[in-house]
Structures are given as structure tokens and as C-alpha cells.
A and B are shown apart, each in its own frame.
Chain A
């Protein structure tokens, strides 16, 4: 049951990701990326890592993608379809590209399939404990305190820089 759902979402994720890379229209790519993130979140949910799944949706699909959409929308990025810049061999139409993609997809499916099968076997840690709020919080504030604080510092710097750039008078 879980495995079949996993395959469903994995295919969705893969398909969406391929669409992101291969589609010439940036607006469609962003939408496909959102769809991919939703599938990823669903996989997290399958693993009963609800917190990480919801975080995935909130941060990536909800917030960052909105900004992506904004940028694509407002900068009026033209579709690549009208003036292809890549050499022909790199485009979807070329046969070896498709073959390579197939090989990669097959390998990937094999890998994730094996790990998904492994998940079905009983593990040491109860699944509800993986990625719960308290676990994530504990990890962030004890073992990974320094990287966590550094990341927040980086974000603050970015925030101040943005405000400085956007507004002359604060």
C-alpha cells in the first residue's frame, strides 16, 4: 500500500522535475516545480515525517515559489521556444538525450524502490519519531546550534541588504 503510493508520488515528482528542466516556458516550469514539491511533501507524509512535509509545503511551495512566480511574472521572461539557445544535441528531440534520461530514471527508480522496500521492514526507531517537531527542534538547538545560528545570521544579512537596496530612506 505505502509502496504503491510512494511510486505514485515518486513518478509525479520525477515527471514534474523533468518538466521543470525541459519545458521552454518559465511560468510552466515554476508551476511544475510547485507540483514537484507537493509530491515530495507527500513522500515525507508517507514516511510519517509530517513536520518536514508541512515545512516543505510551507517554505518551498508556499513562500519561495511565490517569489519565483513574482520574478518570472514581473521580469516578463520570454519563452525560450522562440529562440532556442542550446545546441541541437542538448534538446529533448535528440535521441541520445532521451536514452540517457531513461537510463537515469531507471536507475533512480531502482534505487528508490530498494530503499522504499527497506522502509517496509520494521526499523529500530518508531516512524512517528522521525522528523517530529521536538526532534527537529532538539537537533537544531543542540547538535547543530552553530550552523543554525550561522544560517540565521546569513538570512539577517540578506534581509538588511534587501531593505537597503530597495529603500533609500528607512
Chain B
């Protein structure tokens, strides 16, 4: 395997004219409308400058003109691959301002939904990462299984992508008939499938050659750029808000915080970041099993929903672990029915900012791999 220095040494000797290449905003593997301004010398990339804003929809400004519950559908549209997690964390932030306690059943359902969402989101990340390195089959396999998660969501709340399911103080609907059984069936079906992905992609020789030792992100760099989620854990930092700052009822579940271990190269390479996601799906299944077992049968999911949301004057910062990492909401209330300011700290934004650090010196093909391993969602970066 070649290291970054070697690539530079071997390919960067004959100096030729540099070319500026615009990757995006319409490009198949920028995962949305991201534009990367790349300086290339032949195939070697010397610097990458991400240009964002093509999907900017003024989420934060909109929030200032909406009542608190009206913000929830907007959070759906931020990270549209993990809407449940966004709903959950935003609702919890507002609940904390209001001082509302939600019932046991609501907490369980929220955790179940968030973990299902994590599986769906990681499936998409793993599948599209396969697509980025040129393997098309893992993508269709992942979508086949993601479809089943979406079916569960559709069965629960009628929507497949933007749910508006988790409300401040409760949920929009109770669980439908036999949901527990269907979810159990899905878990039993899904758990062995993780091995299938490993067989077709993870341990494929070409895949390891393409991702192992590529785009190595050292732990210090990851921390100093504010990376979080699988990107940070891929570098070997054991940091997961579900364990380190347990919110909701995460402290009741037994699960492992997955970190990269540099099996196929050095710690923090693309393969590590990818494999953290694959293994996290297994952990989510673990949490789901425990949550489904502990889910109370009876209870009204809307009993704690406040008639009018009007938090006292003050501010709050609440964060939780979305599939992409450390998602935070900073809300300032001036005592009126509409928030004075809502600031969203999106994990993908910080994760993307590291790309020049780890991408410079690699080839164009590797930039695609590295970008795929960061698993960005532009809806969340631009907001």
C-alpha cells in the first residue's frame, strides 16, 4: 500500500501546469449540491475548497417566524436522511426549556424510531460509499433493506422520508397495530444481512486497496476540526453522546461504542470510518432488541403535549447523537410563542470542513472515496 507521502513523491515529481476543476454542484458523487473547487496536477489533487450554500433554505431565519411546533417539519428537511433524529433532538431541547417530562412509552418509541433511523441512514451511507468506489451491488442491497425500514416508518406515521413524527412533549401517532412484531421481524431479518455487506464489500480486496490507508484522519486533527460521529470514532476516539452524555433513556441500554482500529491500514482511514458505520448498525440492532422488549404496552403518547408552547425567557443548548454525529440545537427564547433564535450545530458541516486536510495529495478517485467516507448531507450543511 502507498502512503500519502509516497504518492506525492512518486507522482508529484514532474511539475506540470495546475488545473482548477469544479467538482459539482451537479456531480454524481458529491452527495447533493456541493461544489468542490479542486486544484489538480494531472490526477493528483493539491487542494480542495468546498463551496457550500447551493441548498441554503434559510432554516434558522425561518425558525424565527414560526412557532416552536412548526419548526419540527423544518428540522425534517435539514438532515433528510435522519429526520427522526432531528425531530427527537429538537423536541428534547424544547421540552427541556419547558421542563416537560414525557412518559416512559414515548421515550421508548422515540429511541426505537431514532435507532431505526440510524440503521436507515447508515445503510445509505454504506451503500453510496460502495457506489463511490465503483461497486454498484452493495448500493442496491442496502436500499433493499433500507426500504424495509422506510416501510416501518410509513406504517407508523404515513411518511417515508420527512416524518414530523416526534413532537414536543409526545408523538404525532401512537404505534400502529402489531408494530412490535413487524419491527422484531425486521431486526431478525436484518442482523444476518450485515454479514452479507461485509462479504460483498468490506473484505473485498479491491475495496480494501481503495479505502485502506486512504484519507487518514488523525485523532487530534479530527478533534480540532470538531468532527463527530462515525468520522471521529473512525479515528479511534471513543466519543458517543448516547453513552457520554446520556439523554432520553439511552443510559438503560447496553451497547458498545464502536471505534476504528486501523485493521486494513492506519487508524482513521476511509475503511475505518466505513466499518464503524457497518458495526454501528449491529449496535443499533442491539439497542432495538432491548427497547422493543421494554416497550410498555399501554399509555397515551399525546398526554404531555402542551396546549401552547411558550418557553420562559432564556436560552438552551441541547445536543444528541444523530447518525452523522453531534447534532446540537441552540435556542434563545424571549418568552414569546416564537423562538428568538434557533442555531443548529450540524455535524456534517464540521465533518466536511476536514476534507482539505485529509484529501490534499490524493488522486481524484480518492477525493470521491474520502468525501463518501465523511457521509455528508447537504441539507444539513446548508440548512
Q: Do chains A and B touch in the complex (CB under 8 A)?
A: yes
Interface residue ranges, A against B (CB under 8 Å): 166-169
Q: Which residues of B contact A166 (CB under 8 A)?
A: 13-14
Residue of A nearest to B14 (CB): A166
Q: Which residues of A contact B9 (CB under 8 A)?
A: 168-169
Q: Is B224 an interface residue (CB 8 A)?
A: no
From residue 1 to 57 of chain B, which have CB atoms closer than 8 A to chain A?
9-10, 13-14
Residue of A nearest to B17 (CB): A76
Q: CA of A169 to CA of B13 in the docked complex: distance in angstroms? A: 9
Q: A166-B14, A168-B9, A169-B10 are in contact. List 5 more A-B contacts (CB 8 A).
A: A166-B13, A167-B10, A167-B13, A168-B13, A169-B9
Chain A nearest Cβ from B96, distance in angstroms:
59
Q: CA of A167 to CA of B14 in the docked complex: distance in angstroms? A: 8
Size range of the chain B interface in the assembly? under 10
Q: Which residues of A contact B13 (CB under 8 A)?
A: 166-168
Q: CA of A168 to CA of B12 in the docked complex: distance in angstroms? A: 10
Residue of A nearest to B11 (CB): A167
Chain B nearest Cβ from A141, distance in angstroms:
38
Q: Which residues of A contact B10 (CB under 8 A)?
A: 167, 169
8 smallest A-B Cβ distances: which pairs? Answer: A168-B13, A166-B14, A169-B9, A167-B13, A169-B10, A167-B10, A166-B13, A168-B9
Chain A nearest Cβ from B72, distance in angstroms:
55
Chain A nearest Cβ from B161, distance in angstroms:
45
Q: CA of A168 to CA of B10 in the docked complex: distance in angstroms? A: 8
Q: CA of A166 to CA of B13 in the docked complex: distance in angstroms? A: 8
Q: Which residues of B contact A167 (CB under 8 A)?
A: 10, 13
Q: CA of A168 to CA of B13 in the docked complex: distance in angstroms? A: 7
A-B contact pairs, 8 of them (CB 8 A): A166-B13, A166-B14, A167-B10, A167-B13, A168-B9, A168-B13, A169-B9, A169-B10
Q: Which residues of B contact A168 (CB under 8 A)?
A: 9, 13
Q: CA of A167 to CA of B10 in the docked complex: distance in angstroms? A: 7
Residue of B nearest to A76 (CB): B17
Chain B nearest Cβ from A130, distance in angstroms:
45
Q: CA of A162 to CA of B74 in the docked complex: distance in angstroms? A: 60
Q: CA of A21 to CA of B13 in the docked complex: distance in angstroms? A: 36
Q: Which residues of A contact B14 (CB under 8 A)?
A: 166
Residue of B nearest to A168 (CB): B13
Chain A nearest Cβ from B21, distance in angstroms:
15
Q: CA of A166 to CA of B16 in the docked complex: distance in angstroms? A: 12
Residue of A nearest to B42 (CB): A74
Residue of B nearest to A165 (CB): B14
Chain A nearest Cβ from B42, distance in angstroms:
9
Residue of A nearest to B16 (CB): A74
Q: CA of A167 to CA of B13 in the docked complex: distance in angstroms? A: 7
Chain B nearest Cβ from A154, distance in angstroms:
24
Q: Which residues of B contact A169 (CB under 8 A)?
A: 9-10
Chain A nearest Cβ from B183, distance in angstroms:
57
Q: CA of A168 to CA of B14 in the docked complex: distance in angstroms? A: 9
Chain B nearest Cβ from A148, distance in angstroms:
33
Q: CA of A104 to CA of B9 in the docked complex: distance in angstroms? A: 54
Q: CA of A168 to CA of B8 in the docked complex: distance in angstroms? A: 12
Residue of B nearest to A167 (CB): B13
Q: CA of A168 to CA of B9 in the docked complex: distance in angstroms? A: 8
Chain A nearest Cβ from B4, distance in angstroms:
15
Q: CA of A22 to CA of B10 in the docked complex: distance in angstroms? A: 41
Chain A nearest Cβ from B204, distance in angstroms:
30
Chain A nearest Cβ from B166, distance in angstroms:
56
Q: CA of A166 to CA of B11 in the docked complex: distance in angstroms? A: 9
Chain A nearest Cβ from B132, distance in angstroms:
28
Q: CA of A169 to CA of B10 in the docked complex: distance in angstroms? A: 7
Chain A nearest Cβ from B32, distance in angstroms:
33
Residue of A nearest to B9 (CB): A169
Chain B nearest Cβ from A49, distance in angstroms:
41
Residue of B nearest to A170 (CB): B10
